[in-house]
């Protein structure tokens, strides 16, 4: 039993299946409090379509302040087709965009991990992905999605040109590389840095800054460099060669979607987005499943809660340093899958189909 002060956790379930899968996390929290002596100071609020319906805006300033004050945020998902007709400023999705922006969450962590029991769900051959466990660290607030100049210009002859610019500064590269090196030390101690230094100046600087930082502070970590196009090929050819991958916004966007399909199941994948530590050492962090609000299956009790549960396990590991508890949860998920329980999205022949709440209960039972 520990007697640490309660960790401040903000829970934002959101729309669609968000509240349904979050309910299963609450059961796990109750178990951690009862059986492991952990204590959480939890606040909850509405975001997305749920907040639009109640307050007329996708996220209130007050919720953003709560997120700032919390030790970590557990997010469900936002998106509700009932708001499709409204203008961009009233889209449910703005809730997550605003949170990322306001908390300056610059590093997106996406693990691609294959559970033994689901090895057949991958788009690749079982022998290629068995035991796969990689982590992609994507820079999220810089790069070509935000660089200037940008826009669409009309030329003298009436034709047009569209412009985007990839800009990366030394400090932007360093802070995301630091996240990757720190993560690698807790994993298999290997980082592969990905850019296109053969054709892009921003890539050249990326490689230089990562190499310098490595020599100065992380010489104990194995560092390799790879061109982004080769990396896409290697992720499909032999993904297990990687441990931690670190890359910019654009390449990270593409490579993390590619890597997620190596595991074959959207309903299984968690993610984390981290910001910079303040002067007191507090680091804002938001955890959410990769999947969206899945309006097509909302309200039916059939959503897979595992991505949300594993997002909570990541939160325990990275924000609260509850390593043992995070591992217990991950092992319980693996065991339940090994026992043949499956929600509809990962169902296959000969397995036992269960509902959202049955899957959650089985995981708590396994704990
Ligand atoms: P968004 O724009 O919010 O990402 P989307 O439509 O792109 O929404 P999802 O909401 O993730 O993507 O849904 C994609 C498909 O995957 C849908 O058919 C949905 O039902 C299914 N899906 C997503 N998450 C889950 C889950 N946890 N369990 C079962 N099925 C899921
Ligand atoms: Mg989507």
- If you ran DSSP here, which 8-state letter would residue 121 be given? G
Asked whether residue 303 is marked as a ligand-binding residue, the answer is yes
| Residue bearing the CA closest to ligand 1, atom 9 | 292
The pairs formed by 229-233 with CB atoms below 8 angstroms and a separation of 24 or more are 229/196, 231/192, 231/194, 231/255, 232/258
Alpha-helix runs per DSSP H in 189-305: 201-217, 228-237, 249-263
DSSP per-residue string spanning 142-153 = SGGGT-SS-EEE
Is the separation of the CB atoms in 38 and 71 below 8 Å? Answer: no
Atom of ligand 1 at shortest distance to CA of 293? Answer: 10
DSSP per-residue string spanning 33-99 = HHHS---EEEEE---THHHHHHHSSSS-HHHHHHHHHSSEEEEEE---GGGTTS-GGG-TTHHHHHH
CA of 292 to the centre of ligand 1 (A): 5
The residue whose CB lies within 8 Å of the most ligand 1 atoms, and thus the one to mutate among 19, 266, 302, is: 266
- Whether omega before 149 lies within 30 degrees of 0, making that bond cis, reads yes
Residue found under tokens 């591992």: 327
Asked whether residue 138 is marked as a ligand-binding residue, the answer is yes
Is the separation of the CB atoms in 213 and 191 below 8 Å? Answer: no
CA of 294 to the centre of ligand 1 (A): 4
Query: For residue range 274-330, what is the model confidence (pLDDT) as tens digits?
Result: 998 888 888 899 999 999 999 999 999 999 999 999 999 999 999 999 999 999 999
- Residue 234 backbone phi and psi in degrees, to 5: -65, -30
- Catalogue the active-site residues: 145, 196, 229, 253, 257
Asked whether residue 14 is marked as a ligand-binding residue, the answer is no
Give the C-alpha separation, 199 to 219, whole Å: 27
CB under 5 Å of ion ligand 2: residues:
292
Give the C-alpha separation, 185 to 345, whole Å: 34
CA distances from 52 to 19, 78, 95, 280 (A): 16, 11, 10, 34
Please name which ligand lies nearest the alpha carbon of 311.
1
Bridge pairing between strands 190-195 and 244-247: parallel
CA distances from 280 to 63, 67, 68, 284, 364 (A): 22, 16, 13, 12, 35
Asked whether residue 100 is marked as a ligand-binding residue, the answer is yes
Atom of ligand 1 at shortest distance to CA of 17? Answer: 27
Give the ipTM: 0.94
Please name which ligand lies nearest the alpha carbon of 299.
1
| Residue bearing the CA closest to ligand 1, atom 14 | 294
Asked whether residue 323 is marked as a ligand-binding residue, the answer is no
Please name which ligand lies nearest the alpha carbon of 77.
1
Q: Give the predicted TM-score (pTM) of the model.
A: 0.91
| Residue 337, pLDDT score | 96
Q: Is the dihedral of CA 47, 49, 51, 55 positive or negative?
A: positive
Full pLDDT tens readout for the chain, 367 residues: 556 789 999 999 999 999 999 999 999 999 999 999 999 999 999 999 999 999 999 999 999 999 999 999 999 999 999 888 777 778 999 999 899 989 999 999 999 999 999 998 888 899 999 999 999 999 999 999 989 999 999 999 999 999 999 999 999 999 999 999 999 999 999 999 999 999 999 999 999 999 999 999 999 999 999 999 999 999 999 999 999 999 999 999 999 989 988 987 888 999 999 998 888 888 899 999 999 999 999 999 999 999 999 999 999 999 999 999 999 999 999 999 999 999 999 998 999 999 999 999 999 999 9
| Residue bearing the CA closest to ligand 1, atom 21 | 294
Is the separation of the CB atoms in 211 and 223 below 8 Å? Answer: yes
Instruction: Report residue 69 as tokens.
Output: 């004050």
The pairs formed by 315-323 with CB atoms below 8 angstroms and a separation of 24 or more are 315/9, 315/72, 315/74, 315/272, 315/285, 315/287, 318/109, 318/272, 318/274, 318/285, 319/7, 319/71, 319/72, 319/283, 319/285, 319/287, 320/7, 320/71, 320/72, 322/38
CA of 323 to the centre of ligand 1 (A): 29
Residue found under tokens 């390449």: 251
Asked whether residue 56 is marked as a ligand-binding residue, the answer is no
Give the C-alpha separation, 127 to 310, whole Å: 24
The residue whose CB lies within 8 Å of the most ligand 1 atoms, and thus the one to mutate among 292, 308, 312, 356, is: 292
CA of 138 to the centre of ligand 1 (A): 21
The residue whose CB lies within 8 Å of the most ligand 1 atoms, and thus the one to mutate among 291, 296, 299, 305, is: 291
- If you ran DSSP here, which 8-state letter would residue 240 be given? G
| Residue 3, pLDDT score | 62
- Residue 306 backbone phi and psi in degrees, to 5: -70, -40
CA of 159 to the centre of ligand 1 (A): 39
**Ligand 1 binding site (Cβ under 6 Å of any ligand atom):** 17, 77, 79, 266-267, 291-294, 296-297, 303-304, 307, 345
Give the C-alpha separation, 86 to 222, whole Å: 50
Number of Cβ within a 10 Å radius of residue 322: 21
Per 3-state DSSP, what percentage of the chain is helix, strand, and coil (rounded to 5)?
Answer: 45, 20, 35
């Amino acid at each position: 039993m520990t007697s640490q002060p309660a960790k401040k956790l903000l829970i934002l379930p959101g729309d669609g299946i968000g509240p349904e899968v979050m309910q299963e996390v609450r059961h796990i929290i109750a178990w951690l409090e009862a059986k492991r002596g952990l204590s959480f100071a939890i606040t909850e609020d509405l975001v997305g379509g749920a907040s639009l319906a109640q307050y007329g805006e996708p996220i209130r300033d007050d919720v953003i302040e709560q997120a700032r004050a919390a030790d970590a945020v557990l997010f469900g998902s936002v998106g509700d087709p009932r708001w499709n007709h409204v203008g961009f400023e009233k889209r449910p999705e703005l809730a997550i965009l605003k949170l990322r922006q306001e908390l300056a969450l610059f590093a997106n962590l996406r693990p691609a991990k294959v559970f033994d029991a689901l090895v057949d769900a991958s788009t690749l051959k079982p022998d290629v992905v068995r035991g796969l466990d990689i982590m992609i660290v994507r820079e999220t607030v810089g790069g070509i999605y935000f660089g200037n100049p940008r826009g669409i210009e009309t030329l003298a002859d009436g034709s047009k040109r569209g412009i985007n610019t990839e800009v990366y500064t030394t400090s932007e590269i360093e802070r995301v590389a630091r996240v990757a090196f720190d993560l690698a030390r807790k994993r298999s101690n290997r980082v592969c840095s990905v850019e296109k230094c053969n054709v892009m100046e921003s890539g050249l600087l990326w490689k230089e800054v990562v190499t310098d930082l490595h020599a100065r502070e992380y010489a104990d970590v194995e560092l390799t460099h790879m061109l982004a196009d080769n990396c896409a090929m290697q992720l499909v050819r032999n993904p297990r060669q990687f441990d931690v991958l670190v890359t910019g916004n654009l390449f990270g966007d593409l490579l993390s979607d590619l890597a997620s399909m190596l595991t074959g199941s959207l309903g299984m994948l968690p993610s984390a987005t981290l910001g910079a530590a303040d002067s007191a050492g507090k680091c804002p962090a938001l955890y959410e499943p990769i999947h969206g609000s899945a309006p097509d299956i909302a309200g039916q009790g059939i959503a897979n809660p595992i991505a949300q549960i594993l997002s909570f396990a990541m939160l325990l590991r990275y924000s609260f340093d509850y390593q043992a508890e995070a591992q217990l949860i991950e092992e319980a998920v693996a065991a339940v899958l090994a026992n043949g329980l499956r929600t509809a999205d990962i169902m296959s022949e000969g397995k036992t189909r269960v509902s959202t709440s049955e899957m959650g209960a089985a995981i708590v039972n396994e704990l």
